[in-house]
Amino acid sequence: MVVLDTSVWIEFFKGNEPYFQVVQNLIEARSVSAIEPIFGELLQGAMNKREIATIKKFWEYLTKLEEPGLFIKAGELAYKEKLVSKGIKLIDAAIIFATINNNCMLWTLDKKILGYLNQRYIYNPNLKIH
């Protein structure tokens, strides 16, 4: 399963290729898992009620990673790994923790996360970006 980070969802919702088609294919294959922090960020950045409705429809459709105590566990991970000193905040620590704990892969454009996360947890679709 692949967790799409906020940055990838934004590219998808804007219809930007090559992200749009790859994400669409992953969704159709039921290969995308959703977690609350990412959808919370998407809702926070929504521009209008139509965008809110679209984000909520995706949230309802996708498989969720249920992670009780996610932010406590993320805080412990952040402390242990000194993530703040690496520029990784609590929400990103939560995304990292949920991805690893559920043995998923994360597709992100965030260089700080990419620099920290073990390659086996990074989804790389080998996109040719113009």
- Residue ranges covered by each domain of the chain: 2-121
Judge whether residue 1 has pLDDT over 80: yes
Collect all residues with Cβ–Cβ distance below 8 Å to 102 and sequence separation of at least 6. 1, 33, 65, 67
Q: Which helix or strand (DSSP H or E) is residue 8 part of?
A: helix 6-13
Mean pLDDT computed over 63-69? 95
Q: What is the CATH number of domain 2-121?
A: 3.40.50.1010
Task: Using pLDDT thresholds of 50, 70 and 90, give the confidence band for residue 105.
Answer: very high
Euclidean distance between CA atoms 80 and 63, whole angstroms: 29
Residue 9 one-letter amino acid: W
Euclidean distance between CA atoms 130 and 3, whole angstroms: 24
pTM recorded for the entire structure: 0.93
Mean pLDDT computed over 9-28? 96
- For the chain, the average pLDDT equals 96
